[in-house]
Every structure is written in structure tokens, then in C-alpha cells.
Amino acid sequence: MDKTISEKIISEHAGRDVFAGDIAVVDVDVVMAQDGTGPLAVSQLKKMSFDKVKNPSKSIFFIDHAAPSPRKELSNSHIVLRQYAENCGMVLSDVGEGVCHQILVEDFAAPGEIVIGADSHTCTSGALGAFATGMGSTDIAVGFALAKTWLMVPQTIKVNFNNNPLKGVYAKDLIIYLIGKITAEGATYKALEFGGSFIKNMTIDDRFTISNMAVEAGAKAGIFASDEITEKFLESQGRGKQYKEISADKNANYEQIIDINCSEIEPMISMPHTVDNVCPISQMEKVKVDQVLIGTCTNGRLSDLKIASDILKGKKVNKNTRLIVVPASKKVYLEALKEGIIETLVESGAAIQSPGCGPCVGVHQGILGDGEVCLSTQNRNFKGRMGNPDSFIYLSSPATAAYSAIKGYIADVREIL
Amino acid sequence: MIKQDDSIKKILRGKSFKFGDDISTDLIAPGRYFHLRSNLNELAKHVLEDADEEFAGKVNNGDFIVAGRNFGLGSSREHAPAIIKLAGVGAVLAKSFARIFFRNSINIGLPVLVCDTDKIDKDDELEIDLSKGIIKDLKKNIELKFKALPDVMIKLLNDGGLVEHITKNKGFNL
């Protein structure tokens, strides 16, 4: 019987043919936790009396959510992770290295693999053709110890992004549009498989943005078939050998097929306090913006920073607005420095922060004041997300964010393109 | 559906605390208390603070959270179900749950039940029979059924959670 990409990958890792609805115990290739979820995974490992991890070179702790640490309690949690990683020979990605999901795609995840992580946006690696999904600390503790987990094989929704989007419309706009269409629980327990004619014209960064936000529709995974774009990216990271072709079979069984005509979509905004509360830019009222954030695991990659710097070049950030930029990883930061992107951004008035999650999680580096509005390129705008339940978060593409930083309100970037 | 001899109580009784749709993990365990994640008892004092400021102070052992659609959406933080359980909540009832929250809850032994919560009001007295799958609203004198859990999750709950399952079986035995 023909299989979806998820069914193929899970079957291979279960050692038998499985299909949507089946339960399987599977081998996992990459397991990770971050500084918000890792310490609890360590205490669960200790409870189960595991003093070793099964596959240390593919078991990773990322210190990215509160990095550098703003408080002693968090510094102490970081010590727990460093010590455990050292004792077990695990990989530690420390302060300044970047956001877990970006480093996973740069250095670890590969097509056909199963990646599990104690962070909901682990689905980002689905852009490389991996089955990548987020779980809690206890599941991940077991994953570290046994290199196994259990999965229910998800049903799959096929999403076809057809035709190229118009100028000023980016991958972020497409995924916000999709979430608005199917709602924040439209894909709960399911996998999203992305296809359509625009796929071949997407950059790998576009795909990362789209897979990253699959969980905002409730999805378990957000997967692209691997192709020459995937292969080229892996080669650029010195991992060409890890390339493998993976795609769905011709007659795979989809729960639903959604066709989206990208050329009909305009820049999109998610409004407070849910991601599926979407509005096309042309219908937005004038919303004054106190802070703009460009970065995070959704949109902190080189192409995102480049788009922002092209818009901000020779311009100044509005005097009533602050612009915070956080490169997603050290690699991205170094490239952006080499290309003069960081210089342009700083000259325009941006505050650059060290690679990591930045203010997205509400821990540090840009917590909002009472009544303040932030326009962010992150993936979530829940009440209180950025550290203050009395503030308001809007989500957009880096282009919309950069242009809005100049204008001081949420603005339509197509005006200058 | 749940064995008689496990650590989770089969008959639960308590009062209903009502919440709406889309209660995110940010509302349950706000990011501004990130530093308390290593101190769950302290974090539990802020459980659901951004959805109902008074909840943590009012909830009694055995009470229920009764919510709308997509409860627990958002991050993978297991601290969210953990502090709900620590606060004494006997079970969470909702029209639907986000996937990771649901799985985390089973892993740590917090019953999460899918049912038509519109029929239950704030402060109703409920009695839940986990093995029969029945929720009795004693105030309204009505009975509701909740959706059966997948077998694999019943096995985990019967063992007392994932840690206990793995310890007992020296690995997965699902």
C-alpha cells in the first residue's frame, strides 16, 4: 500500500509497515531538550536510574531560551545541563550558539530521520524531510536513555502551495494564511505535508519558516519531500552525505488536500492573542508599534536578516519604536556580519542580541511594558508570551516587520517594493 | 477502562472551575516565571494566573478544570500539566486538547478527559468514574460520557505514568 512521508519514515524506524492510526515503538535518530525543558528531563532520567544516554553524539542539550542567563535560578539550571551532558558525553550547545531548531537543521537533522525534541517547534526539521516532532521532558528523557519513543502514526493533510506569491509576500505570510484558514487546532494529531508548484521556487529558509509553524495549527509534524534544494543546503553545511531522497508514494492516502493559490495572498498579520486570529494587511487598522522583533526560530535566518536590512538600508527606525534583532545561530550571525547586514541594521537603529531565542519566550532581552505593542517575526502571540500579560503581540514576516519599524505602525511593505 | 489496583484514583469528586477556548501553556505556566521551573511547588502558586488570577488560591484538592476547545496549546513545557496536578486538580475536562499537552498529562498521570463541557457550569459538583467513563454533574443531575483514551495511554496511566512504565518494564512494553 502506498504511503505518506510520515508513514514511510515511521515504518522504517518501526521495522514494519505502519499506517495512519497505528501505534509503533520506533528508533529515534536525534533527541534534544533545551534549557527550559532539559532540567526536568534530567530529573526524570535520574528517577529511572539512567546514568547513560543511548546515542550521545545525537543527544543534545541546547542553552538558548535564557542565554545568557538573566537570573541565578536559570544559571543553576544551566549548570545541571552542562554537568549531565559532560557525564554522559552528550552534545552541549551553550550560550551564543543559537536557537535549538536552527542548529538542528544546520548540524544534525537529515531526510528520512526521526527527530524528537522537548520543544514544540521541533517540527522545524520537517523542512529537510525528517519526521520531527515536539514532546515533553519525560518522553524526551526516555528518548535520551533508550533512543526510542512511541508514536501514533498521524493522518496527513496535504497542503499544496501553488503559483508564486506576489512581491512583498513571503513564506511567513503563507503559513499565517494557512493557519488562519484551518485554525489553531485544524491539524491536531495530524501531519502536514507540503507540496504544490511553489515548493520548487522556495528557499530552504522559506521551508524552515513554514515547517516551524506547523505546530501552530496543532500539527505533529510539518514535512517537505527532500529534493535538490535540501541536498544543496546539506552540502553547504558540510553534510552532503546525509542527503537521502524521501517523498510520498503516488497513491498515498491523505485525510484532506488543501490547495492554496499563493498569488492571491497578501502580507498577513496574526493579531493578539492567538496565531489563527489573522488579518490581511490591507484590512488592518493603524496599530502603533512600540517594539519590533526580527529573529527567532521562525525568522532569524540569513535571508530574513537580509530582507530586513535591504528595507532598512539608509533609513532610521521610528523614534517611537525600538527594533531588536536576534540572529538564529552563530553561523547566521557571522554570515550577516560578513555581508554587512549587521552594520546596516545597527546603523538604522537596531539593537542586536546574541544568537538564541531572544525575547520570544518572555524571559529576558525585551519584555514588553503594560499596554505595549510588539510586532514580531516569531511564531506565537499568546497573551503573556513576551513576559507581560498586559501587552499585545502581532506576528508578521521580516519584511513587514522591518518596514513597520520605520513607520512606527504596522504598515504594508508593498508600498516601497 | 482503568485497572482497579493502580495509583490513580478511579472515582474523583470535586468542584468545577470553568475556562474558555485556547488556554495556552503560556496562560498555564507563564514565561515570566521561567526561573521557577526548577521549583515546581513555587511555580504551582501561579498556575493559570493569566487566565484566572484567583484560581491558584481557590482550587481545592480534587477539583476539576473544565474548559473549551484546544486546551494546552502551545509549548511542550511539561511543567504546565505538572503544576495543574500539583495544585490538586483531579482531572482536566475539555472539548479538545492540544497534542503535546495531552501526551504530557498522561505521562505524568494527570487524567485528561474529552467531553461536551458546555453542559457543565462554574462551581458544579462533579463525580467522575474513570473506569466507566462517566461524569456525573451532581448539581444538575445529569450524566456525561467522556471519550475513551487510546489503549496505549491506558497502559501508561495504569502503570502510573511513563517513568513508572519504563522502570517496571525495563523499556517499552506497549
pLDDT tens digits for A18-35?
A: 999 999 999 999 999 999
Torsion of CA B34, B36, B37, B38, to 10 degrees: 140
CA separation (Å) from B67 to A46, A133, A219?
A: 34, 26, 21
Cβ-proximal residues to A314 (8 Å cutoff; 6+ apart), any chain: none
Q: Which of A37, A150, A184 sits opposite B78 (nearest CB)?
A: A37
- According to the model, what pLDDT value does residue B8 have? 55
Q: Do A189 and B99 touch (CB under 8 A)?
A: yes
Band of pLDDT at residue B115, cut at 50, 70 and 90: very high
- Grid cell at residue A10: 515511521
Provide the pLDDT for residue B149.
Answer: 86
Proportion of chain B above pLDDT 90, given as a percent: 84
CB contact A408 to B (< 8 Å):
no
| Among the listed residues B55, B62, B68, the one whose alpha carbon sits nearest the alpha carbon of residue B119 | B68
Please state the rounded mean pLDDT for residues B139-144.
Answer: 96
Burial A169-192 (b: 16+ CB within 10 A, else e): bbbbbbbbbbbbebbbbbbbbbbb
Residues 73-112 of A with CB under 8 A from B: 73-74, 76-77, 80
Residue A60 backbone dihedrals phi, psi, to 5 degrees: -130, 135
A393-416 pLDDT tens trace: 999 999 999 999 999 999 999 999
Q: Which of B62, B71, B47 is nearest to B125 (CA)?
A: B62
Task: Write out the three cell numbers for B7.
Answer: 495509583
Mean local confidence (pLDDT), A309-321: 98
Cβ <8 Å between A136 and B26:
no
Domain covering A271-416 in this structure, CATH number: 3.30.499.10
- Chain A: residue nearest B108 by CA? A138
- List the single best residue of A27, A49, A137 to mutate versus B (max B Cβ within 10 A): A137
State the sign of the Cα–Cα–Cα–Cα dihedral A346, A351, A353, A359: negative
Second CATH level (architecture) for the domain B11-148: Alpha-Beta Barrel (3.20)
Residue A67 CB: number of other CB atoms within 10 A? Answer: 27
State the pTM of this model.
0.97
Q: What is the pLDDT of residues A81-129, one digit of tens each?
A: 999 999 999 999 999 999 999 999 999 999 999 999 999 999 999 999 9
pLDDT of B4 > 70? The answer is no
For residue B148, the model assigns a pLDDT of 87
CA separation for the pair A211, A101 (Å, rounded):
11
For residues A356 and A347, give the distance between their C-alpha atoms in angstroms, rounded to a whole number: 22
Of A44, A134, A362, the CB nearest to B100: A134
**What is the spatial distance between Cα A406 and Cα A183, in angstroms, rounded to a whole number?**
31
Is A202's pLDDT higher than 90? yes
Q: Which residues contact A11 (CB under 8 A, 6 or more apart)?
A: A3, A17, A18
Report the percentage of chain A scoring pLDDT > 90. 100
* Percent share of chain A, pLDDT over 70: 100
Nearest to B104 by CA among B117, B90, B85: B85
Whether pLDDT at A345 is above 70? yes
Contact A11, A18 (CB under 8 A): yes
Query: pLDDT category, B5, cuts 50, 70, 90?
Result: very low
Q: What is the ipTM of this complex?
A: 0.96
Q: Which residue has the higher pLDDT, A182 or B158?
A: A182
Query: What pLDDT is recorded for position A330?
Result: 98
Q: Where in chain A is the domain with CATH 3.30.499.10?
A: 5-261, 271-416
User: How confident is the prediction for chain A on average, in pLDDT?
Assistant: 98
Residue B9 has a pLDDT of 61
- A91-93 β-sheet, strand order: A91-93, A59-62, A30-34, A114-118, A131-134
A26-35, A221-230, B146-155: which has the minimum mean pLDDT? Answer: B146-155
> What average pLDDT score do residues A239-266 get?
98
- The mean per-residue pLDDT over the stretch A248-272 comes to 98
Burial of A319 (0-12, 13-18, 19+ CB in 10 A): exposed
Q: Does B107 touch chain A (CB under 8 A)?
A: yes
pLDDT tens by residue, A349-377: 999 999 999 999 999 999 999 999 999 99
In CATH, A5-261 is 3.30.499.10: yes
**Tens of pLDDT along B54-95?**
999 999 999 999 999 999 999 999 999 999 999 999 999 999
Residues of chain A numbered 225-244 and touching chain B (CB < 8 Å): none
Across the range A389-393, mean pLDDT stands at 98
Given a contact cutoff of 8 angstroms between Cβ atoms, the answer to whether A247 and A151 are in contact is no
- Does pLDDT of B51 surpass 50? yes
How far apart CA A194 and CA A174 sit, in angstroms, is 12
Q: How far, in Å, CA of B117 to CA of B86, rounded?
A: 23
pLDDT at residue B114, as a whole number = 97
Output the pLDDT for position B131: 85
- For A48, residues 6+ apart whose C-beta sits below 8 A from its C-beta are A141, A142, A145, B163, B166, B167
Nearest CA in chain A to B166: A48
Residues A7-19 have a mean pLDDT of 98
Q: List CB contacts (< 8 A) between A37 and chain B.
A: 76-78
Chain A residues closer than 8 Å to B164 by CB: none
Chain A closest-CA separation from residue B23 CA (Å): 9
Q: Provide CB contacts within 8 A for A372, sequence distance 6+.
A: A290, A291, A388, A391, A392
